[in-house]
Amino acid sequence: MSDLSPRSTTGERILVVGPSWVGDMVMAQSLFITLKNHDPDCVIDVMGPKWSAPMLERMPQVRRAIVLETGHGQTGLRTRWRLGRSLKGEYDRAIVLPRSLKSALVPFFAGIPRRVGFTGEQRYVLLTERRRLDKAVLDQTVKRFVALGLPVEGTSDAIPEPHLQVDAARQQALREAHGLNQALIAMMPGAEYGPAKQWPLAYFRQVAEAMIERGYQVIVLGGPRDVDAGEEIGQDLEGVINLCGQTTLTDAVDLLGACEQAVSNDSGLMHVAAAVGTHVQAIYGSSTPNYTPPLTQARDIHWLNLSCSPCFERTCPLGHTRCLNDLAPSQVIETLTVD
Protein backbone atom coordinates (compact mmCIF):
# COMPACT_ATOMS: atom_id res chain seq x y z
CA MET A 1 0.00 0.00 0.00
CA SER A 2 1.31 3.43 -0.88
CA ASP A 3 1.65 6.37 1.49
CA LEU A 4 -1.70 7.29 3.03
CA SER A 5 -0.68 10.46 4.87
CA PRO A 6 -3.31 13.23 4.80
CA ARG A 7 -3.20 15.56 1.81
CA SER A 8 -5.05 18.83 1.38
CA THR A 9 -7.72 18.94 -1.31
CA THR A 10 -10.74 21.06 -2.14
CA GLY A 11 -12.48 18.37 -4.17
CA GLU A 12 -14.30 15.22 -3.25
CA ARG A 13 -12.16 12.37 -1.98
CA ILE A 14 -13.13 9.18 -3.78
CA LEU A 15 -12.06 5.58 -3.22
CA VAL A 16 -12.73 3.28 -6.16
CA VAL A 17 -12.73 -0.45 -5.49
CA GLY A 18 -11.31 -1.68 -8.77
CA PRO A 19 -11.85 -4.91 -10.70
CA SER A 20 -9.53 -7.93 -10.66
CA TRP A 21 -8.97 -8.34 -14.41
CA VAL A 22 -6.46 -6.39 -16.49
CA GLY A 23 -8.92 -5.43 -19.23
CA ASP A 24 -11.53 -4.30 -16.73
CA MET A 25 -9.00 -2.13 -14.91
CA VAL A 26 -8.09 -0.47 -18.20
CA MET A 27 -11.78 0.17 -18.91
CA ALA A 28 -12.18 1.59 -15.41
CA GLN A 29 -10.06 4.54 -16.51
CA SER A 30 -13.12 5.77 -18.40
CA LEU A 31 -14.77 6.18 -14.98
CA PHE A 32 -11.74 8.03 -13.58
CA ILE A 33 -11.75 10.44 -16.54
CA THR A 34 -15.49 11.00 -16.12
CA LEU A 35 -15.09 11.79 -12.42
CA LYS A 36 -12.37 14.32 -13.22
CA ASN A 37 -14.52 15.87 -15.95
CA HIS A 38 -17.31 16.44 -13.43
CA ASP A 39 -15.02 17.59 -10.60
CA PRO A 40 -11.47 18.50 -11.69
CA ASP A 41 -10.43 18.92 -8.05
CA CYS A 42 -11.56 15.51 -6.91
CA VAL A 43 -8.98 13.04 -5.63
CA ILE A 44 -9.22 9.45 -6.85
CA ASP A 45 -7.52 6.54 -5.13
CA VAL A 46 -8.02 3.02 -6.45
CA MET A 47 -7.92 -0.21 -4.46
CA GLY A 48 -6.93 -3.31 -6.39
CA PRO A 49 -4.69 -6.37 -6.53
CA LYS A 50 -0.92 -6.00 -6.42
CA TRP A 51 -0.45 -6.33 -10.19
CA SER A 52 -2.67 -3.29 -10.79
CA ALA A 53 -0.51 -0.73 -8.95
CA PRO A 54 2.03 -0.14 -11.78
CA MET A 55 -0.83 0.02 -14.28
CA LEU A 56 -2.65 2.64 -12.21
CA GLU A 57 0.53 4.72 -12.16
CA ARG A 58 0.06 5.13 -15.93
CA MET A 59 -3.33 6.78 -15.35
CA PRO A 60 -2.87 10.48 -14.51
CA GLN A 61 -6.36 10.73 -12.98
CA VAL A 62 -5.37 8.38 -10.13
CA ARG A 63 -3.51 9.83 -7.16
CA ARG A 64 -2.43 6.52 -5.67
CA ALA A 65 -3.02 2.80 -5.76
CA ILE A 66 -3.96 0.92 -2.62
CA VAL A 67 -2.95 -2.73 -2.77
CA LEU A 68 -5.32 -5.29 -1.30
CA GLU A 69 -3.07 -8.09 -0.09
CA THR A 70 -5.40 -11.03 -0.66
CA GLY A 71 -5.20 -13.80 -3.21
CA HIS A 72 -7.62 -14.04 -6.12
CA GLY A 73 -10.92 -15.46 -4.88
CA GLN A 74 -10.00 -15.13 -1.18
CA THR A 75 -12.29 -13.32 1.24
CA GLY A 76 -9.44 -12.19 3.52
CA LEU A 77 -11.84 -10.77 6.10
CA ARG A 78 -9.16 -9.77 8.62
CA THR A 79 -7.00 -8.18 5.91
CA ARG A 80 -9.95 -6.18 4.60
CA TRP A 81 -10.93 -5.10 8.13
CA ARG A 82 -7.41 -3.86 8.89
CA LEU A 83 -7.17 -2.00 5.60
CA GLY A 84 -10.59 -0.45 6.07
CA ARG A 85 -9.76 0.73 9.59
CA SER A 86 -6.52 2.30 8.30
CA LEU A 87 -8.56 4.35 5.81
CA LYS A 88 -10.95 5.85 8.39
CA GLY A 89 -11.69 9.50 7.60
CA GLU A 90 -9.84 9.46 4.28
CA TYR A 91 -12.77 9.52 1.85
CA ASP A 92 -16.14 11.10 1.14
CA ARG A 93 -17.39 8.50 -1.33
CA ALA A 94 -16.59 4.94 -2.35
CA ILE A 95 -17.47 3.48 -5.75
CA VAL A 96 -17.48 -0.31 -5.70
CA LEU A 97 -17.13 -1.67 -9.23
CA PRO A 98 -17.31 -5.46 -8.58
CA ARG A 99 -20.68 -6.84 -7.55
CA SER A 100 -19.42 -9.27 -4.91
CA LEU A 101 -20.11 -8.89 -1.20
CA LYS A 102 -16.42 -9.00 -0.24
CA SER A 103 -15.58 -6.10 -2.57
CA ALA A 104 -17.75 -3.76 -0.47
CA LEU A 105 -16.17 -4.69 2.86
CA VAL A 106 -13.22 -2.25 2.94
CA PRO A 107 -15.35 0.89 2.31
CA PHE A 108 -17.78 -0.36 4.98
CA PHE A 109 -15.02 -0.99 7.52
CA ALA A 110 -13.56 2.43 6.65
CA GLY A 111 -16.87 4.10 7.49
CA ILE A 112 -16.97 6.00 4.19
CA PRO A 113 -20.26 7.94 4.42
CA ARG A 114 -21.39 7.33 0.83
CA ARG A 115 -20.82 3.87 -0.66
CA VAL A 116 -22.16 3.29 -4.16
CA GLY A 117 -22.49 0.05 -6.11
CA PHE A 118 -24.88 -2.17 -8.01
CA THR A 119 -27.21 -4.44 -6.09
CA GLY A 120 -25.67 -7.88 -5.69
CA GLU A 121 -24.90 -10.61 -3.15
CA GLN A 122 -27.07 -9.13 -0.39
CA ARG A 123 -24.93 -6.00 0.13
CA TYR A 124 -27.78 -4.09 1.77
CA VAL A 125 -25.85 -2.98 4.86
CA LEU A 126 -22.47 -2.57 3.16
CA LEU A 127 -23.66 -0.06 0.54
CA THR A 128 -25.51 3.17 1.25
CA GLU A 129 -26.56 3.62 -2.38
CA ARG A 130 -27.53 0.44 -4.23
CA ARG A 131 -28.28 0.85 -7.91
CA ARG A 132 -30.31 -1.51 -10.04
CA LEU A 133 -28.32 -2.83 -12.98
CA ASP A 134 -30.36 -2.37 -16.14
CA LYS A 135 -28.45 -4.60 -18.55
CA ALA A 136 -30.43 -3.33 -21.53
CA VAL A 137 -29.29 0.25 -20.94
CA LEU A 138 -25.87 -0.52 -19.50
CA ASP A 139 -25.02 -3.16 -22.07
CA GLN A 140 -21.24 -2.81 -21.82
CA THR A 141 -18.84 -3.21 -18.93
CA VAL A 142 -17.43 0.29 -19.39
CA LYS A 143 -20.92 1.84 -19.34
CA ARG A 144 -21.60 0.16 -16.01
CA PHE A 145 -18.37 1.49 -14.53
CA VAL A 146 -19.03 5.04 -15.70
CA ALA A 147 -22.67 4.99 -14.56
CA LEU A 148 -21.65 4.31 -10.96
CA GLY A 149 -19.68 7.56 -10.91
CA LEU A 150 -22.51 9.74 -12.18
CA PRO A 151 -25.43 11.24 -10.26
CA VAL A 152 -28.17 9.51 -12.24
CA GLU A 153 -28.08 5.84 -13.16
CA GLY A 154 -27.98 5.23 -16.90
CA THR A 155 -26.99 8.79 -17.79
CA SER A 156 -26.11 9.38 -21.44
CA ASP A 157 -22.71 10.95 -20.77
CA ALA A 158 -20.28 10.13 -23.58
CA ILE A 159 -17.84 7.37 -22.65
CA PRO A 160 -14.25 8.69 -22.74
CA GLU A 161 -11.59 6.36 -24.13
CA PRO A 162 -8.89 5.10 -21.73
CA HIS A 163 -5.43 6.47 -22.35
CA LEU A 164 -2.43 4.89 -20.63
CA GLN A 165 0.75 6.94 -20.48
CA VAL A 166 3.78 5.52 -22.27
CA ASP A 167 7.28 5.97 -20.85
CA ALA A 168 9.30 6.92 -23.94
CA ALA A 169 12.69 6.32 -22.31
CA ARG A 170 11.65 2.91 -21.01
CA GLN A 171 10.18 2.10 -24.42
CA GLN A 172 13.47 2.84 -26.15
CA ALA A 173 15.38 0.79 -23.60
CA LEU A 174 13.08 -2.17 -24.23
CA ARG A 175 13.54 -1.89 -27.97
CA GLU A 176 17.29 -1.95 -27.57
CA ALA A 177 17.25 -4.79 -25.04
CA HIS A 178 15.20 -7.06 -27.31
CA GLY A 179 16.72 -6.05 -30.65
CA LEU A 180 13.57 -4.41 -31.96
CA ASN A 181 14.91 -2.30 -34.80
CA GLN A 182 12.11 -2.51 -37.38
CA ALA A 183 8.44 -1.58 -37.57
CA LEU A 184 6.55 -3.73 -35.08
CA ILE A 185 3.41 -5.84 -35.04
CA ALA A 186 2.30 -7.32 -31.70
CA MET A 187 0.50 -10.60 -31.19
CA MET A 188 -1.29 -11.62 -28.01
CA PRO A 189 -2.41 -15.25 -28.33
CA GLY A 190 -3.42 -15.77 -24.71
CA ALA A 191 -6.73 -15.30 -22.93
CA GLU A 192 -6.96 -16.08 -19.23
CA TYR A 193 -10.66 -16.92 -19.53
CA GLY A 194 -10.15 -20.08 -21.54
CA PRO A 195 -9.70 -21.76 -24.95
CA ALA A 196 -13.06 -20.58 -26.28
CA LYS A 197 -11.48 -17.11 -26.55
CA GLN A 198 -8.20 -18.26 -28.14
CA TRP A 199 -7.73 -18.12 -31.91
CA PRO A 200 -5.69 -21.11 -33.19
CA LEU A 201 -1.94 -20.63 -32.88
CA ALA A 202 -1.46 -21.82 -36.46
CA TYR A 203 -3.56 -18.85 -37.58
CA PHE A 204 -1.43 -16.41 -35.60
CA ARG A 205 1.61 -17.99 -37.25
CA GLN A 206 0.19 -17.44 -40.74
CA VAL A 207 -0.39 -13.77 -39.94
CA ALA A 208 3.15 -13.51 -38.54
CA GLU A 209 4.58 -14.99 -41.75
CA ALA A 210 2.67 -12.44 -43.85
CA MET A 211 3.86 -9.54 -41.71
CA ILE A 212 7.49 -10.65 -41.81
CA GLU A 213 7.27 -10.78 -45.59
CA ARG A 214 6.15 -7.16 -45.48
CA GLY A 215 9.20 -6.10 -43.48
CA TYR A 216 7.86 -6.14 -39.93
CA GLN A 217 9.21 -7.65 -36.76
CA VAL A 218 6.56 -9.51 -34.77
CA ILE A 219 6.60 -9.55 -30.98
CA VAL A 220 4.50 -12.05 -29.05
CA LEU A 221 3.35 -10.80 -25.67
CA GLY A 222 1.81 -12.67 -22.77
CA GLY A 223 2.47 -14.16 -19.39
CA PRO A 224 4.46 -17.25 -18.34
CA ARG A 225 1.55 -19.49 -19.39
CA ASP A 226 1.87 -18.20 -22.95
CA VAL A 227 5.56 -19.05 -23.45
CA ASP A 228 4.82 -22.27 -25.36
CA ALA A 229 2.24 -20.46 -27.50
CA GLY A 230 4.83 -17.85 -28.41
CA GLU A 231 7.32 -20.57 -29.30
CA GLU A 232 4.81 -22.30 -31.55
CA ILE A 233 3.99 -19.08 -33.38
CA GLY A 234 7.63 -18.16 -33.95
CA GLN A 235 9.27 -21.55 -34.45
CA ASP A 236 11.87 -21.26 -37.25
CA LEU A 237 10.52 -17.84 -38.23
CA GLU A 238 13.24 -15.22 -38.25
CA GLY A 239 11.65 -11.95 -37.25
CA VAL A 240 9.36 -13.28 -34.48
CA ILE A 241 10.48 -12.40 -30.95
CA ASN A 242 8.75 -14.34 -28.20
CA LEU A 243 8.54 -12.08 -25.15
CA CYS A 244 5.93 -14.10 -23.28
CA GLY A 245 6.90 -14.35 -19.64
CA GLN A 246 9.79 -11.91 -20.10
CA THR A 247 7.99 -8.62 -19.58
CA THR A 248 6.03 -6.90 -16.85
CA LEU A 249 2.61 -5.45 -17.46
CA THR A 250 4.04 -1.94 -17.74
CA ASP A 251 6.70 -3.24 -20.14
CA ALA A 252 3.79 -4.42 -22.27
CA VAL A 253 2.28 -0.93 -22.11
CA ASP A 254 5.47 0.60 -23.49
CA LEU A 255 6.09 -2.13 -26.07
CA LEU A 256 2.52 -1.97 -27.38
CA GLY A 257 2.90 1.78 -27.64
CA ALA A 258 5.78 1.14 -30.07
CA CYS A 259 3.74 -1.16 -32.33
CA GLU A 260 1.82 -0.12 -35.42
CA GLN A 261 -0.82 -2.77 -34.88
CA ALA A 262 -1.71 -5.58 -32.50
CA VAL A 263 -3.48 -8.85 -33.29
CA SER A 264 -5.18 -10.09 -30.15
CA ASN A 265 -7.82 -12.32 -28.67
CA ASP A 266 -10.38 -10.64 -26.43
CA SER A 267 -8.01 -10.25 -23.49
CA GLY A 268 -6.57 -7.75 -21.06
CA LEU A 269 -3.65 -6.97 -23.35
CA MET A 270 -6.10 -6.17 -26.15
CA HIS A 271 -7.48 -3.37 -23.97
CA VAL A 272 -3.96 -2.23 -23.09
CA ALA A 273 -3.12 -1.97 -26.78
CA ALA A 274 -6.23 0.09 -27.42
CA ALA A 275 -5.41 2.40 -24.51
CA VAL A 276 -1.94 3.25 -25.86
CA GLY A 277 -3.31 4.13 -29.32
CA THR A 278 -2.18 1.02 -31.19
CA HIS A 279 -4.46 -0.11 -34.01
CA VAL A 280 -6.13 -3.29 -32.74
CA GLN A 281 -7.13 -6.35 -34.72
CA ALA A 282 -9.55 -7.79 -32.15
CA ILE A 283 -10.56 -11.44 -32.42
CA TYR A 284 -13.72 -12.65 -30.68
CA GLY A 285 -14.89 -16.19 -30.09
CA SER A 286 -17.17 -17.06 -27.18
CA SER A 287 -17.44 -13.41 -26.14
CA THR A 288 -18.82 -10.44 -28.05
CA PRO A 289 -17.51 -7.01 -29.07
CA ASN A 290 -20.92 -5.65 -28.15
CA TYR A 291 -20.07 -6.18 -24.46
CA THR A 292 -16.31 -5.63 -24.15
CA PRO A 293 -15.06 -3.84 -27.27
CA PRO A 294 -11.60 -2.29 -27.45
CA LEU A 295 -12.26 1.34 -26.55
CA THR A 296 -10.62 3.00 -29.52
CA GLN A 297 -11.60 4.09 -33.02
CA ALA A 298 -8.38 2.51 -34.35
CA ARG A 299 -9.67 -1.03 -34.49
CA ASP A 300 -10.91 -3.84 -36.71
CA ILE A 301 -13.31 -6.33 -35.16
CA HIS A 302 -13.18 -9.96 -36.27
CA TRP A 303 -16.27 -11.82 -35.06
CA LEU A 304 -18.30 -14.34 -37.01
CA ASN A 305 -21.45 -13.82 -34.90
CA LEU A 306 -22.59 -17.41 -35.35
CA SER A 307 -26.01 -18.54 -34.19
CA CYS A 308 -24.38 -20.11 -31.13
CA SER A 309 -22.45 -16.94 -30.27
CA PRO A 310 -21.84 -15.46 -27.81
CA CYS A 311 -22.01 -18.31 -25.33
CA PHE A 312 -19.47 -16.79 -22.87
CA GLU A 313 -18.21 -20.29 -22.05
CA ARG A 314 -14.57 -21.09 -21.28
CA THR A 315 -14.64 -24.07 -23.63
CA CYS A 316 -16.99 -24.64 -26.55
CA PRO A 317 -20.10 -26.47 -25.28
CA LEU A 318 -20.66 -27.88 -28.80
CA GLY A 319 -17.09 -29.12 -29.14
CA HIS A 320 -16.26 -27.46 -32.46
CA THR A 321 -15.23 -23.87 -31.57
CA ARG A 322 -16.28 -22.78 -35.06
CA CYS A 323 -16.49 -19.17 -33.86
CA LEU A 324 -12.68 -19.18 -33.95
CA ASN A 325 -11.73 -22.06 -36.23
CA ASP A 326 -13.82 -20.66 -39.11
CA LEU A 327 -12.28 -17.20 -38.80
CA ALA A 328 -9.63 -17.38 -41.54
CA PRO A 329 -6.18 -15.78 -41.13
CA SER A 330 -6.65 -14.15 -44.55
CA GLN A 331 -9.40 -11.97 -43.07
CA VAL A 332 -7.00 -10.53 -40.50
CA ILE A 333 -4.14 -10.21 -42.96
CA GLU A 334 -6.33 -8.21 -45.36
CA THR A 335 -7.25 -5.66 -42.71
CA LEU A 336 -3.75 -5.09 -41.41
CA THR A 337 -2.88 -1.65 -42.68
CA VAL A 338 0.42 -1.28 -44.51
CA ASP A 339 1.73 2.24 -45.06
Domain boundaries, the chain: 13-148, 168-335
Q: Which CATH number applies to 13-148?
A: 3.40.50.2000
Q: What is the pTM of this model?
A: 0.92
Task: Note the pLDDT tens digit of each residue in 222-260.
Answer: 999 999 999 999 999 999 999 999 999 999 999 999 999
Least confident of 22-36, 67-81, 224-238: 67-81
**Interatomic CA distance for residues 277 and 280, integer angstroms:** 9
- Contacts of 158 by beta carbon, 8 Å cutoff, 6+ apart: none
- Report whether pLDDT(73) > 70: no
289-318 mean pLDDT: 94
Overall fold of domain 168-335 = Rossmann fold (3.40.50)
Structure confidence at residue 72 as a pLDDT band (50, 70, 90): low
Task: Note the pLDDT tens digit of each residue in 107-143.
Answer: 999 999 999 999 987 888 999 999 999 999 999 999 9
Q: Which sign does the torsion angle of CA 197, 203, 209, 210 carry?
A: negative
CB 80 within 8 A of CB 69: no
CA neighbor of 276 nearest in space, from 294, 243, 250, 254: 254
Mean pLDDT of the chain: 92
Quote the percentage of the chain above a pLDDT of 70.
Answer: 94
